[in-house]
Amino acid sequence: MKHSILLIVVLLAALGTARTAVAEPAWGVNCLSCHGEYLTDTLFVIDEDTTADPDESATGAPDRGTLKVFQGYRANTKSLRAELVGLDLDDTYAVELKRVRYPGVENGEILTYAPDCSWADWGAPGNYFSEPHIGYSWGADPTVFDFEITLPSDAPYDYYDLVLAVAGKFTDGGLFYAEERFYFQVLLMPGDYEGDGDVDWDDYDLFETLECFTGPSGGPYNEGCEAGDFDDDDDIDCLDWNQFILAWTAGGDPPELADCLLDAPLMALPPHDTRKNRYISFRPNSGTNIVALQLELTEGPGTLGVVGFIGEPYDPSCQNDDGTPNGGTCDEVDYLARVVNSPVFRVWPEGLIHVGDCEIVPVATYMMRASFDAILFGDPLELGTILYPPPHYYGDTVGVGTGDLPPLPGYTAPNQIVNVNDVTAYLLTSEGDATPSVHATWVDLHGLDDGAAPNFILNVPDLQRILFGLEGQEYTDAPDQLVPADCP
């Protein structure tokens, strides 16, 4: 042992009177035979990554049940952390890390590592470690301890059954001991195909060489591609690729994968590309990809930022908002969607979707982006509602009348003026088959109830809102109108 005889004498003198053994030995002897009273509420393993109950059947290691787990990657350093609580002023103590030399519980591997040089190494090699060399004093010294363990690039994958413990002396001379057992798991770093502790161009080259990309449900993937299956679903698709990009550690921009480049949604074709009061219309343009569509307010009233995601569309000619039948006959022409709080991942086969909800307000600009995982997003589509019509704030539903505007005869687009044309367009459109008329989304400004979102149905509240605009009223001054950030 590298420590002096004098240090051994000092430590033995500090141990005091022996107590009955009840704790498991760390190294062939029982700690409590030297360290006295066992405390159950003094030392706690903290900031662990997860919990686990490994399968010890192949090694015959003791089944500890579910324990806290610190996870470390090859060629990386991991902090094993414990906290002390509940001691009294001037109690002395030292913290220990034990059992590092024992085999892993699943595969029987011996852990290879570089220890924390600030901890004393008792024995050779690495029987146990302590911090400090002799003792700290409660009230003046640290209460949270970190053992920085560094793994080489070939550290064996396994769960290792370790113990963080504390031993010390009360001010009355009595000795105490406490411990918590945990697992240290050495695992494959996601995205690190070559196992060198980073995610860089060498890993991308292996990804390409091994032909790891399978697409959704396209597994099993080829041997050597395990690091690319971030979500453990036995394939490597664009969800995994996005995680690979997030794990990227090399400098510069990460690579692009053509299969996972998302096209931006597209503007609706005329006349649905027209700026409206309470609707934005678009074409999903996502093909067979399963994606979510995020909506961000970039200009408009209230706080700017992401207002939500596009909900699942429904056909208002035959369905209610919740998808239940409303007694009508589906015409499969118009699809209405609401803004929801959580991403809706789906294939979007609808050719045209109209979004109308509390979050869609006049004189506003939005950005819509597609995403495989609601973390990384594709290029945006900019969409806007009616432009600011001085001195009016909303109600500008149409421009001037025309008898031959294809494909719907009726009116030109809103022209920043609220006048009798806007009222007339509503009245004619609400009659159903009258001409000139416009699409319902141009003149649907409100639902049936106070504060309700537009509902693809033309009724008296829609006319009231046009009249409010004709009077020069601000949108948010109208009864029950909210700015997008305040919407439920």
Radius of gyration of the chain (CA): 34
pLDDT of residue 2: 40
Q: How confident is the model at residue 33 (pLDDT cuts 50, 70, 90)?
A: low
Q: Which residues contact 396 (CB under 8 A, 6 or more apart)?
A: 277, 362, 386, 389, 414, 415, 416, 417, 418, 422, 469
Distance CA 312, CA 323 (A): 9
What global pTM score does this model have? 0.69
CB distance 400 to 436 below 8 Å: no
Question: Residue ranges per domain, the chain?
Answer: 5-187, 201-260, 401-486
| 451 strand-pairing partners | none
Question: What single-letter DSSP state applies at residue 343?
Answer: -
pLDDT of residue 68: 98
For 180-194, what is each residue's pLDDT tens digit?
A: 999 999 998 899 998
**Res. 15: pLDDT tops 50:** no
Q: Which residues contact 205 (CB under 8 A, 6 or more apart)?
A: none
The H-or-E segment that residue 128 falls in is: strand 128-137
For 51-104, what is each residue's pLDDT tens digit?
A: 999 999 999 999 999 999 999 998 899 999 999 999 999 999 999 999 998 999
- Comparing CA positions, the residue from 180, 242, 193, 217 lying closest to residue 39 is 180
Distance CA 113, CA 220 (A): 33
> How long is the chain?
488
**Res. 25: pLDDT tops 80:** no
Distance CA 445, CA 453 (A): 8
pLDDT of residue 486: 86
Ranges assigned E (strand) in 259-416: 266-267, 279-283, 292-299, 305-310, 336-337, 339-340, 353-356, 365-371, 381-384, 401-402, 410-411
For 329-383, what is each residue's pLDDT tens digit?
A: 888 888 999 999 999 999 999 999 999 999 999 999 999 999 999 988 999 999 9
Q: How confident is the model at residue 13 (pLDDT cuts 50, 70, 90)?
A: very low
pLDDT of residue 224: 92
**Res. 241: pLDDT tops 90:** yes
pLDDT of residue 333: 85
Q: CATH classification of 5-187 is 2.50.20.10, yes or no?
A: no
List Cα–Cα distances, 157 to 98, 112, 187, in angstroms: 19, 10, 5
pLDDT of residue 55: 96
Computed over every residue of the chain, the mean pLDDT equals 86
pLDDT of residue 394: 80
**Res. 266: pLDDT tops 90:** yes
- Comparing CA positions, the residue from 278, 280, 282 lying closest to residue 267 is 282
Report the phi/psi class of residue 14: left, alpha or beta, with left for phi > 0 and alpha for psi in -120 to 50: alpha
Q: Which is higher by pLDDT, 434 or 262? A: 262
List the structure tokens of 360: 């869609």
Share of the chain above pLDDT 70, in %: 88
Question: What single-letter DSSP state applies at residue 394?
Answer: S
pLDDT of residue 409: 53
For 60-75, what is each residue's pLDDT tens digit?
A: 999 999 999 999 998 8
- Comparing CA positions, the residue from 198, 199, 287, 288 lying closest to residue 241 is 199
pLDDT of residue 26: 36
**Once rounded to an integer, what is the mean pLDDT over residues 105-116?**
94
pLDDT of residue 46: 97
**Res. 32: pLDDT tops 80:** no
For 317-330, what is each residue's pLDDT tens digit?
A: 888 877 788 888 88
Distance CA 477, CA 484 (A): 14
For 424-453, what is each residue's pLDDT tens digit?
A: 888 888 887 655 578 999 999 988 777 788
CB distance 333 to 354 below 8 Å: no
Q: Which is higher by pLDDT, 411 or 345? A: 345
**Res. 105: pLDDT tops 70:** yes
